[in-house]
Structure 1
């Protein structure tokens, strides 16, 4: 038997190593504190609830609990000061690094998206390409959005008045259910590009590309806690996030109409900023030009008044 034949025989006899998917909290990869998992099957976005579509088994994904959600908020709050205080240029460099690392794992993500969404390998590869481009797009905006969203304001009196955008804080993001990678990147990248930190609830039916993206984030110079990735039942995880007093905003993209209404009520208790899917989002094309509406969705405006002339050199901010 030739060496090549022996190698092929050995490969056929070898047992494969199944990947263990984990949560991503505070820069680490813990299992759910409850120890629960749920089955993820092929073509899940086109089927009913996760694991009920009759497709082939792909993996057991961790089913995050309320405590996991609270731990993720603690990690996001801890990371907020350093991330929001970093220069816009530095944040742009890190987002570009994420694109670089994702490009290096292109084949892996194309395979995961194809299996998760039940699409052809070519279509999945195109979505991975678009996701990489989306990271680059937002990397370029980090040091430009202040000029677009801020500026000098004309006022009456001996003052000059400047407005500048600042990040809102900790943002809970419900990833879209219909796009395992590109949709996720489209809602996550603008949140962190502007200095916010994020607690992301991955698509319930197809969480595996999101959990793999966590591995990319962990090796892309992104400080631990800036992005925290949870998988499981969307309604179960989103409820404590919407009611959490230390979550400053929530993106409801991945919630259906009934759940979105419940979460809005819960979010009102501490006046969270709520991003509701726009009417056009009911038939989303995630490959379309994203615009900047998501960049400005989680920004606050700080206005500084400064006297001129004989009033002195002191100023005040509102």
Structure 2
């Protein structure tokens, strides 16, 4: 029997609603490494794929936002556990995608795993940071608490295919939102592989949906979509960001503008946890006015 065998190339697919469809149009595009060598064919998403991802994210929002913060933290930690078990795979993919040495790629993957753990720990603590009791003139308790915004489009950073992606995605879902992710156009493979981890973890289908393709082509319909509540423009250049901001204004989306990042592995703080939260304020009578209350 011959020792020669054919290589089994991986077929990358989109991740929408907990399933792995091919792009609606059947299109793919070539992904190459930093030296121009072919790595794989990635699906090139269409406007229809973008709309399908929004439908899936909206369907999943009720269950995910209604879960306890403690439960969401457990789910995020489970993702970190599973990434730890596939560390070698992601190290190889990040090294190829970004032209890094194995050691530097491993450091990026380790930082990404740690980032999941970081946000897992914040799920049940952010309410204490941004909520609380408010002083009012009258016999009332006035309490503010954060609630998720809804469906958030996330344009993953173009230059950090895995650590940057996790850094913008994890805080969105940690706070109870659902996400439609547009992977790095040049280096989408780590994001598409992350989909496989999410699918086999405890993250419900539709909470995270991952699209690959031409960033501008996919982002335009998402920015204008009436059922998308917010958009993170981390992966947009200045010209595209301006165009998408204008489209997002049509239904008053929350917009997180691109911020220059020197090092994605730096302490993330809480800056990305708060942009996609709404504040609910509840008034509750005290004393002899009774036990009723109202919220606004």
TM-score, normalised via structure 2 length: 0.99
Secondary structure of the residue aligned to 2:147 is strand
Match of 1:39 in 2: 30
Distance (whole Å) between structure 2 residues aligned to residue 25 and residue 176 of structure 1: 20
**What is the aligned partner in structure 2 of residue 47 from structure 1?**
none
Q: Which residue of 1 aligns with 2:17?
A: 26
Q: After superposition, give the CA deviation of every residue in 1:11-46 in whole Å (9 maximum; x if it has no partner).
A: xx1111000000000000000010000000002xxx
Do structure 1's residue 290 and structure 2's residue 264 form an aligned pair?
Answer: no
Moved over 4 A (4+): none
Q: Which structure 2 residues correspond to residues 2-151 of structure 1 after superposition, within 5 A?
A: 10=3, 13-43=4-34, 55-151=36-132
- Listed one character per residue, the Cα deviations across residues 275-318 of structure 1 (whole Å, up to 9, x for unaligned) are 0123xx1x431010000010111000000001112222211111
Q: How many residues align?
A: 296
Secondary structure at the counterpart of residue 209 of structure 2: strand
SS at match of 1:297: coil
* Structure number having the greater helix percentage: 1
Q: Is the 8 A contact 2:236 2:258 kept in 1?
A: no
How many angstroms apart in 2 are the aligned matches of 1:16 and 1:105?
21
After TM superposition, the structure 1 = structure 2 runs for residues 204-223 of structure 1, keeping only pairs within 5 Å, are 204-223=185-204
Contact 2:82/2:201 (<8 A) preserved: yes
Q: Report Cα offsets for 1:208-249 as digits up to 9, x if no partner.
A: 000000000001110000000000000000000000000000
> 1:309 — aligned with what?
287
Cα distance per residue 1:190-224 (max 9 Å; x no partner): 00000000000000000000000000000111000
SS in 1 for 2:273: helix
CA-to-aligned-CA distance 1:66-92 (integer Å, 9 cap, x gap): 000000000000000000000111100
Aligned to 1:245: 226
Tell me what 1:236 maps to: 217
Distance 1:261 1:250 in 2: 12
Say if 2:163 and 2:264, in contact at 8 Å, map to a contact too. Answer: yes
Q: Quote the Cα distance in structure 1 between the aligned partners of 2:173 and 2:65.
A: 9
Q: Which has the larger radius of gyration?
A: 1
Instruction: Say if 2:151 and 2:229, in contact at 8 Å, map to a contact too.
Output: yes
Give the distance between the partners of 1:36 and 1:232, measured in 2 at CA. 9
d(CA) in 1 for partners of 2:291 and 2:81?
46
Query: What is the alpha-carbon distance in structure 2 between the residues aligned to residue 135 and residue 220 of structure 1?
Result: 13
SS in 2 for 1:293: coil
TM-score, length-normalised on structure 1? 0.92
| SS of equivalent residue, structure 2 residue 185 | coil
Task: Measure the CA separation in 2 of the matches of 1:160 and 1:85.
Answer: 24
Structure 1: runs of 5+ lacking an equivalent: 1-5, 44-53
Task: Deviation per CA, 1:107-134: give whole Å up to 9, x if none.
Answer: 0000000000011010000000000000
Distance across 2 between alignment mates of 1:237 and 1:287 = 27
